[in-house]
Chain A
């Protein structure tokens, strides 16, 4: 009897407030080759959604609105991305769409965003060409390939880690990274380039070639799963060269796949060092760990910021339905996100800080760059 009463009482708030909901569109990879990074992206969105909704929603014009995420699977396929975007814009009537993983798919979604006046805020795709199309409805929260490689190239050049060899995914992320570094360092400083397809796991031939060459450092442009295998194979082969990784390789989850021994000394560029002594980063890491039981991933942080930013823009624009007004708000907004201060330039590109972190012998990390945020072992 008491239980029934309790159940009925718990329904009361729902009846009393009859909450308004805002549909926020998400495009991501839930299946297919990019499903693993897609999961981190969704985790970030869900964490933000939960935070907003558990506070009763976000406030606008005297009312409170709950966030209702509508996520569609685009499977790294441009046609699927386009129809997902079309559906979100015209059927689900989302006033803003977030996410995407793959640059080629984002390129198909962006024109539709423009056609229907619905801003698209990217949180992961790194292809620089995306923000060069003059599309006022496209925004990007994360650093693009040029920005990421700029930070890293400066660092690599200063350390004298050239010639630089690569083992890279043969997709937009991997190739983009290689091309970017080539442009910045110059062809003469580039050594062996070993491409491999997503899903391939045997790097022996690349490792042999790198060993035979004169590379001072090896850059691994891939996600953490092949990354853990590549590093294991490199170290097993007795190769002690300096390793440089991508943002996925700066997490404890990555450490679990390997061991501190093999990782020690490896450097990676990072959008988000989870243990940095920066309050907003620490707070996010704690919340993420509480909800998901594992260390936060940079993709999740970027996506979390994306949703928070979208909500802030809606509040600033004073509307949850007018895409154009929201777009104008986004263009002018300055938002303090987990990844840093987010402000879009005239091309819709934000300029978040890019960190360089390094693994210590005891399995913790230190921050090497930027100078202002340098931190010792344990703070990365």
Chain B
């Protein structure tokens, strides 16, 4: 029995890492701009498709295709921020509605252009299996984990120690005060958004070779990632990591004892219970006025 528990824990960490990857861009955007972009899942998916396009049609280099897709999605992010989210600044409800509308547009556009079938992105270099105890995982999956942690570390260092990073933190803590001291908050807005959508593209491009590229690929991870963000404390990057991994582990462990058709319900129940006990989430900070 303990062997099974250990195995499922590892499985959970691995599947949770995908949720974390999707959540990273979302938590960054929320933390800085207090915008909850539900369309993040479809942007993740779009990143996968764009990467597939570059990989199969333009350059045979996977790494280059990943970077190109990040670039494209960064531009998309800037367009969205300036065109849709900036005008709706401060209106939480309308931002949510707009992001839901974007989901309809992007998801159906992808189906109209690429068709509903799943696409394969074969990257032979990362297909080999790596043993982890009794389990074996494709190298690509470990790459996902590696990149996720690298990004989290880089974000942390950037936000904490660099000048632009500090400016971003200042703008997120007190927008008015930041403006007063001359921080260009509008520029921070679109650069953060671009960074967020670029991270979404990175996620889709990394998951593509592992699990196929298809129109629904971002939907479930987005909801789970969202639950993870909530659990970890909204706006906290380490919180999003812990939360996402926790959701993954809970889901996997639940299959040992509960009927598997209730697998995601279990994760949500755990999320709600933890939040009832600690409403701000694990790493969250109680913000006056928001709670």
B56 within 8 A of A: no
Contacts of A229 in B (CB 8 A): 211-212
Instruction: Please report the C-alpha to C-alpha distance between residue A236 and residue B211 in the assembled complex, in whole angstroms.
Output: 14
A193 and B4 contact, CB distance less than 8 A:
no
Total chain A interface residues with beta-carbon distance under 8 A:
31
A201 touches B217 (CB 8 A): yes
A199 and B216 in contact, given A36-B116, A208-B7 (Cβ under 8 angstroms)? yes
Tell me whether A238 and B136 are in contact (CB under 8 A): yes
Tell me whether B261 and A212 are in contact (CB under 8 A).
Answer: no
| Residues of the A chain whose Cβ atoms lie less than 8 Å from the Cβ of B15 | 202, 204-205
- The chain B residue with its CB closest to the CB of A170 is B261
Q: With a CB–CB cut-off of 8 A, which chain A residues contact B215?
A: 35
- Which stretch in B71-79, B177-185, B252-260 binds the other chain? B252-260
Does A205 contact B251, Cβ atoms closer than 8 Å?
Answer: yes
Q: For residue A236, which residues in chain B have a CB less than 8 angstroms away from its CB? A: 129, 136, 138
**Which residues on the A side are within 8 Å of B219 (C-beta)?**
199
- The complex places the Cα of A193 from the Cα of B258 at a distance, in Å, of 11
Instruction: Tell me if A159 counts as interface (CB < 8 A to partner B).
Output: no
- B93-136 near A? 1/0 per residue, CB < 8 Å: 00000000000000010010001111010000000010000011
How does the 8 Å CB contact mask read for A17-28 relative to B, with 1 for contact and 0 for none?
Answer: 000000000000
**B214/A225 in contact, CB under 8 A:** yes
B196 adjacent to chain A (CB < 8 Å): no
Distance of A229 Cα from B120 Cα, bound (Å): 11
Q: Is B235 an interface residue (CB 8 A)?
A: no
- Give complex CA distance A35, B110 in Å: 12
The one of B11, B115, B129 in contact with A39, judged by C-beta atoms closer than 8 angstroms, is B115
CB-CB under 8 A from A193, the residues of chain B are 259-260
For residue B211, which residues in chain A have a CB less than 8 angstroms away from its CB?
A: 201-202, 229
User: Nearest A residue to B6 by beta-carbon distance?
Assistant: A208
User: In whole angstroms, how far apart are the Cα atoms of A259 and B214 in the complex?
Assistant: 20
**A225-B251 contact given A36-B116, A195-B263, CB 8 Å threshold:** no
Closest A residue, CB atoms, query B115: A39
User: Is residue A157 within 8 Å, beta carbon to beta carbon, of the partner chain?
Assistant: no
Can you list 25 A-B pairs, Cβ within 8 angstroms, ordered by A?
Answer: A33-B216, A35-B215, A36-B118, A39-B117, A175-B261, A195-B259, A197-B220, A199-B214, A199-B216, A201-B212, A201-B217, A202-B18, A202-B211, A205-B8, A205-B15, A208-B8, A209-B8, A209-B255, A209-B256, A212-B4, A212-B7, A225-B212, A228-B212, A237-B135, A257-B120
Residue ranges of B at the interface with A (Cβ–Cβ < 8 Å): 3-4, 7-8, 11-12, 14-15, 18, 108, 111, 115-118, 120, 129, 135-136, 138, 211-212, 214-217, 219-220, 251-252, 255-256, 259-261, 263-264
